[in-house]
Amino acid sequence: MLRSWLKPAALALGCLLMAGGAARAQEEAMPKLPDVKWSFAGPFGTFDRASAQRGFQVWNEVCSACHSMKLMSYRNLAGIGLSPEQIKAIAASKTVPGEPNDQGEPTTRPGQPSDTFALPYPNDKAARAANNGALPPDHSLIVNAREGGASYIDGLMVGYVDPPKGVKVPDGLYYNKWFPGHLIHMPAPLSDGSVTYADGTKATLQQEAKDVATFLYFASNPHMEERKHMGVRIVGFLALMCGVTYGVKRRIWADVH
Ligand code: HEC
C-alpha cells in the first residue's frame, strides 16, 4: 500500500526539483536588466511628458515601420501632452483606409484624430514576409505583456552586443543580451542619432531607448495617473475615517470604566 504511491510521488518530487533547478539556471543565464529610474514608478508616479513625447517621435519615425499599435488613436496622444493642433497634424500626415468608392474599390484618405494608428502592413502574412518569417508584435500592450515591463523594452533596445565566443548567429537573426534565448529577428532598431529630437535633446541610443520605453509604458497604461491619484485619495480617506472612528469609539466608551 505504502510502496504503491511512494514511487510515483518520489518521481514527481524529483521532476519538480529538476524543473526548478533548470528554471533557476535559465534565470541566472539572463543578466539583470539595467536599473532605470522611471518617472511613473511608485504610488506617486507620473508620466514624464517630455520623455513620452520624444518617445512617440522615436516610435513614429522608427518602430511604426514594422510594428502596429492597434488600440491607440491619434487623439489618445493628448495623454502625453500633445495639443489638438499637433494631433490633427500628425493624423493628417498618415494615410488610412477610406470608404469604398462608387465602383466598390477600396480608397485611402488622410487620417483624423479619431482614427486608430495607421498599420505598417496590410495583414500578418505581409508582415511576416517582410521580416524573415517573424511577426513584429503589436505594441498596444507590449509593456504589460513582457516581464520586466519598460525596463525590458529599454534593455532590448540597448542589448544588441557581439555574441559570446562560440555562439553562431544564423542569417536573419541578431544577438540580443536581454531577449529570451538571445536570438531575435529584429535588427537593432536604434542607434545614436536615429532621430533628431524636436525639443533639441541629444539623441543618444540610451536616451532614445528610455524615451521610447516611456511612450510604450504610456500606451499600455494610459490611465495610470488617474489610477494612482485615486489610490492616494482612497488611502487618505481611509486614514481620516480611521481617526474619526477611533475618536467616536473613545467618546462612546468614555464613561465605561
Ligand atoms: C525592421 C522592422 C522592425 C523595426 C523597425 C522595429 N522592430 Fe521590433 N520587432 C521586429 C520583429 C520582426 C520582431 C519579432 C522578433 C522575434 O520574434 O524574433 C520584433 C519584436 C519586438 C519586440 C518584442 C520582443 C519580445 O520580447 O518578444 C519589441 C518590444 C520590439 N520589437 C520593440 C521595437 C521598438 C521599440 C522599435 C522602435 C524603436 C522596434 N521594435 C522597431 C521588427 C522591427
Q: Are 218 and 81 in contact (CB under 8 A)?
A: no
Distance 206 CA to ligand 1 centre (A): 17
238-252: buried (b, 16+ CB within 10 Å) or exposed (e) per residue?
Answer: eeeeeeeeeeeeeee
Total number of residues shown for the chain: 257
What is the tens place of the pLDDT at every residue in 61-108?
Answer: 999 999 999 999 999 999 999 999 999 999 999 999 999 999 999 999
177 is written with which cell numbers? Answer: 543580451
> Does residue 21 have a pLDDT over 70?
no
Whether 131 lines ligand 1, by a CB cut-off of 6 Å, is yes
For residue 9, which amino acid is it?
A
What is the tens place of the pLDDT at every residue in 137-159?
Answer: 999 999 999 999 999 999 999 99
Q: Which residue reads 544564423 in cell numbers?
A: 170
Residue 147: phi and psi, rounded to 5, are -60, 135
For residue 140, which amino acid is it?
S
Q: Are 214 and 58 in contact (CB under 8 A)?
A: no
Whether 186 lines ligand 1, by a CB cut-off of 6 Å, is yes
- 159 backbone φψ class: left, alpha, beta (φ>0; ψ -120 to 50): alpha
Residue nearest (by alpha carbon) to ligand 1 atom 21: 136
Name which residue leads in pLDDT, 32 or 216: 216
> Does residue 197 have a pLDDT over 60?
yes
Q: Are 215 and 56 in contact (CB under 8 A)?
A: yes
Nearest-angstrom CA–CA distance, 123 and 119: 9
Cα 168 to chain center, whole Å?
29
User: What number of other Cβ atoms are within 10 A of residue 6's Cβ?
Assistant: 10
| Residue 39: closest CA among 159, 150, 203, 197 | 150
pLDDT mean over 244-254: 95
Nearest-angstrom CA–CA distance, 39 and 54: 14
Distance 92 CA to ligand 1 centre (A): 26
> pLDDT value at position 164?
95
Q: Are 100 and 170 in contact (CB under 8 A)?
A: no
